[in-house]
Structure 1
Amino acid sequence: MGKKSEGKKAATLPVDIGISNDDRQAIADGLSRLLADTYTLYLKTHNFHWNVTGPMFQTLHLLFETQYNELALAVDLIAERIRALGFPAPGSYSAYAKLTSIEEADGIPSATEMIQQLVIGQETVVRTARALFPIVDAASDEPTADLLTQRMQIHEKNAWMLRSLLES
């Protein structure tokens, strides 16, 4: 039998994907803000799903459920990209509260106010993603650019669908 390696810590290999450590850090920081915005929007959307009332209840209840389920999948993709870049992903309410640009809802808003707040939230996520493109493009980080493009398309579509509900 060979020697036991108990107690020995395996050497960590540095991340060597063709993007400098500083650029990877800057991208991971931006993705952490995107993760915080996405998780905060997930929580807000789920809250509204539970608490919506009124004549549009069934429509909004189902729409909010579709959107929060998609957001739940998105947070995993974003966190995994941060990890692939070699950095820890934030994962606590306190971290998200410091990083997010999305405001929490006060009390239980009306259905119309819920829709308005979610439009603002969806568009906030788009702006957070878009702001990250200059560093991502400069670093030739195509996987992150692809992730950002997909997220922006989804959030822009969600904002449009929600906004359409507000038209008379």
Structure 2
Amino acid sequence: MSNKNSIGLEVKDSEQLASGLNDLLANYQLFYMNARGFHWNIRGDKFFELHLKFEELYSDAFLKVDEIAERILTLGYIPVHSYSDYVKKSEIKESKDISDGYIAVQQVLDGFRTLLIKERALLKMSADAEDEGTNALMSDYIRQQEKSVWMYSSFLSKK
């Protein structure tokens, strides 16, 4: 007999998914804070363009943080919710006092790389667990972020 949770998923699978989602949540929180800092501190000839782009980034990350936390709750677990836990768990590190747009964009790309790797792992894990809710969320994030990576990479391109 299987051990299913309230939404019909195996408890063991849900626990692993919630753990992976909590890891993703911590990374998103640092990504969010970094984008806020870039938005506030950006200077130079690309100020107006990048100021708006960084606002888009942190606004989007803010929504994703909530979606990820609510998915963890839906799976029956508690989302991490302290900044000290975010810093401890996150592979994305704090960016401090960055005002150069090109450095900030490179750090955004590095953050996307980390998020995409984690989202792809969760996509596979959720597919194996037949967790369509997490799978659809990760699929949407990946599609959107791959396009963002292309666009931000184009900004840094010298040609």
Q: TM-score, normalised by structure 1?
A: 0.87
Instruction: Give the match's secondary structure for 1:101.
Output: coil
Name the structure 2 match of 1:116: 106
Name the structure 2 match of 1:4: none
| Number of residues of Structure 1 aligned to a counterpart in Structure 2 | 155
Gap regions ≥5 residues in structure 2: none
Deviation at 1:106, TM superposition (A): 4.1
Contact 1:123 1:156 in 2 (8 A): no
Counterpart Cα distance in 2 of 1:115 and 1:60 = 9
Letter matched to residue 103 of structure 2 = E
Gap regions ≥5 residues in structure 1: 1-13
Counterpart Cα distance in 1 of 2:152 and 2:13 = 35
Counterpart Cα distance in 2 of 1:36 and 1:157 = 23
1:22 matched to 2:12: yes
Deviations 1:91-143 (A, max 9, x none): 11111112211122243252111110101101211111111233211110011
Name the structure 1 match of 2:90: 100
Give the share of equivalent positions with the same residue, in percent: 37
Counterpart Cα distance in 2 of 1:73 and 1:106 = 23
Name the structure 2 match of 1:65: 55
1:88 matched to 2:64: no
Counterpart Cα distance in 2 of 1:126 and 1:135 = 14
The structure 2 residue matched to 1:126, chosen from 116, 128, 131, is: 116
Contact 2:41 2:97 in 1 (8 A): no
- Mark the structure with the bigger radius of gyration: 1
Deviation at 1:16, TM superposition (A): 2.5
Letter matched to residue 93 of structure 1 = Y
1:164 matched to 2:154: yes
Q: Mean Cα displacement is larger for which, 71-80 or 150-159?
A: 150-159
Name the structure 2 match of 1:38: 28
Counterpart Cα distance in 1 of 2:70 and 2:87 = 20
Q: TM-score, normalised by structure 2?
A: 0.92
Cα RMSD after superposing both structures? 1.4
Counterpart Cα distance in 1 of 2:144 and 2:124 = 20
